[in-house]
Amino acid sequence: MTKTMLRALAGETLPTPPIWMMRQAGRYLPEYRATRAKAGDFLSLCYNPELAAEVTLQPIRRYGFDAAILFADILLLPQALGADLWFVTGEGPRLSTITGPEGLKGLKGKDDIHEHLAPVYETVRLLSGALPADTTLIGFAGAPWTVATYMIAGRGTPDQGPAHALREGDPETFGAIIDLLTEATIEYLSMQVEAGAEVVKLFDSWAGSLRGEAFERFALAPAKRIITELKARHPGLPVIAFPRQAGDKYIGFARAVGADCLAIDNSVSAQWAAEMLQPDGCIQGNLDPRHMVTGGQALIDETRQIVEAFRNGPHIFNLGHGITPDADPENVQLMIDAVRGG
């Protein structure tokens, strides 16, 4: 096995950790902005396999990352299930909302998503043939809780209040949404693997707003169901889990859900994570994305501190969340050089 990303996911401690960045294909790159303009709008870019593959490859060409992540969006899955989806310039996604049992009636089943998502699978196939031999291809999906928060509120919200209200006020409808998303996510990720994805990542961006038993039921349990089924269908498939802002709930999460790697955000320290989480296996993270904007010696120092903290176990270097549109592309190279000893 020569790909450093796959070696780290298999539990190997490497002298230099593999590197990739969440949202590494995106608005901070001028070449991305040019390709998106050619596509016309964000969703047209997601559903154009040639252009989606192109923007996925752009940061690999520019920086030589150890992994490429499929360019898509977590909300393509609810759209495939029958939700209306559109993007408002400068504001983000909007969806038709589910506020009760009536909203479920218009949704499709888990086996009816593939025609809509066929362009995504084609993007994976194109990337599988186009990436350098030493670059790992990552597929992904949003975790059920996070995707449900958008489907219920119709947009991103600061506290996921509408989803919590439905979870408490109409547990039957809420549970049906989670169950449908769990099963559909299995089918979606499985098809990405069949198309050529070597690793899959489950993004639970709003896991941190679930407390106590709700975290166990709606963050941990669906992740376990998805990972268990994917590994049954695709033996040896590495899976990265990212229950963002889980805090102490990070402890034991990877082991509980069967993930090969736990991605962590930058609200926890690398030193704490090395002590409390890395004994269970590979850790991915966790540089504060603001360093990609501010740069300088602080970026270099923090990058080196994270590498040092995790040097005694398997580690994939990444940000604690996605790179932001106002990041300076030169700071990305500065980070890579700091990780690789340049």
Catalytic annotation, residues = 23, 27, 36, 73, 150
Rounded distance between C-alpha atoms, residue 291 and residue 105, angstroms: 45
Per-residue buried b or exposed e for 232-245, using 16+ beta carbons within 10 Å of the residue's own CB? eebeebbbbbbbbb
Task: Quote the crossing angle between the two packed helices 221-233 and 171-195, to the nearest 10°.
Answer: 30
State the DSSP code for 112.
G
Residue 10 CB coordination number (10 Å):
16
State the DSSP code for 19.
B
Rounded distance between C-alpha atoms, residue 117 and residue 72, angstroms: 10
| Secondary structure (H, E, C), 119-186 | HHHHHHHHHHHHCCCCCEEEEEEECHHHHHHHHHHCCCCCCCHHHHHHHHHCHHHHHHHHHHHHHHHH
Of 148, 130, 146, which is closest to residue 71 (Cα–Cα)? Answer: 130
Rounded distance between C-alpha atoms, residue 288 and residue 292, angstroms: 8
Residue 150: CB partners within 8 Å, gap ≥ 6? 74, 75, 78, 93, 95, 156
Residue 34 CB coordination number (10 Å):
12
Of 51, 65, 53, 61, which is closest to residue 19 (Cα–Cα)? Answer: 65
Burial (Cβ within 10 Å: 0-12, 13-18, ≥19) of residue 159:
exposed
Of 336, 342, 232, which is closest to residue 18 (Cα–Cα)? Answer: 336
